[in-house]
Amino acid sequence: MTSTYLPELRRATRRTSGAPGARPAQPWPGEARCAVAITVDMDGDGNEAGIGEAPLGIHSMGRYAARRGVPRFLDMFQRHGIPATFFIPGYDCKQSPDLIRRIAAEGHEVGSHGYMHEGFMMSDEEEERRLRLTHDLISDAIGKAPRGWRSPYGQKTRHTMKVLKSMGYIYDSSDKDTDTPYLFAPHDAPGAMVEIPNNTPILSDTSWYQDARTAPSDVEREWCAEFDSVYGGHGFFILTFHPRPGFGSGMPARANVIDRLLQHIKSHADVAFVTLEQVAEHVLAGAEAFEELAI
């Protein structure tokens, strides 16, 4: 059986200037006015394998992520001199260990993202087995244990958080409930973890390209507008990209949208590009300035 939970607001401790959406009193890493986190969900062959499809023919788009999409993103991030956070399913790590090692070697964070991009609920025992399997595969590939997790389909339980905490994870990036990071405290595990919400309905390529069938030029305009609003307000901007074709941004024209967006962001003063691990450490170090939920 799976274990569900209902979060309960324990205390709201964020100190702001009083304006809605105002930045936390504590500056972002590097004393920056605005922190920008670029995240990549690999979503390779594991997506198809996880639903029993052989990754061949029309079901081979996951291979594009490893062969073209991720290398294209890495080259782009290197040109811009920025770090990113890559969330990798365990199956894809096993399929492309050299690529995962390249991601880490170039200074990017590698986080955990399910084993086969599971879109279904499992027993607690099976979920734990897959969480630990992916954790071990990533640790073995890059010589460092992941410290962050993002649910493949946004599903998680109280048990998920307990297992992650026991393995030393300091943050999750799955929820969609606010604009800025906050602390959450699992009731049956000592200490707090950090939640770094990723609002995928707007700040992810999948909703635009797969669901709304939006032209890349319109997506670029929307993302630039969202950044401009964040820059003038609470100061934390997180985006999620996928290196696949179809619902992702791995192909050249859509990758160029990201390239131009990064140029737009870098034209603003006092912006820090950060990994989610850096964000989580920042929140934990200044916990009194951030909200906390009891779970």
CA dist., res. 229 & res. 235, Å (int)? 9
The more confident residue out of 32 and 294 is: 32
Q: How confident is the model at residue 61 (pLDDT cuts 50, 70, 90)?
A: confident
Place of tokens 């140029």: 263
Tens of pLDDT, residues 158-190 = 889 999 999 999 999 999 989 999 998 876 666
pLDDT of residue 209: 92
Note the pTM of the prediction, 2 decimals: 0.91
Per-residue pLDDT at 245 exceeds 50: yes
As a residue count, the chain comes to: 295
pLDDT of residue 15: 44
Q: How confident is the model at residue 6 (pLDDT cuts 50, 70, 90)?
A: low
Angle at CA 44, nearest 5°, toward 262 and 61? 95
Q: What is the DSSP string of 107-163?
A: T-EEEE--SS---S---HHHHHHHHHHHHHHHHHHHSS---EE--SSS---HHHHHH
pLDDT of residue 201: 81
Ordered by start, the domain boundaries in the chain are 29-294
CATH number of 29-294: 3.20.20.370
Q: How confident is the model at residue 13 (pLDDT cuts 50, 70, 90)?
A: very low
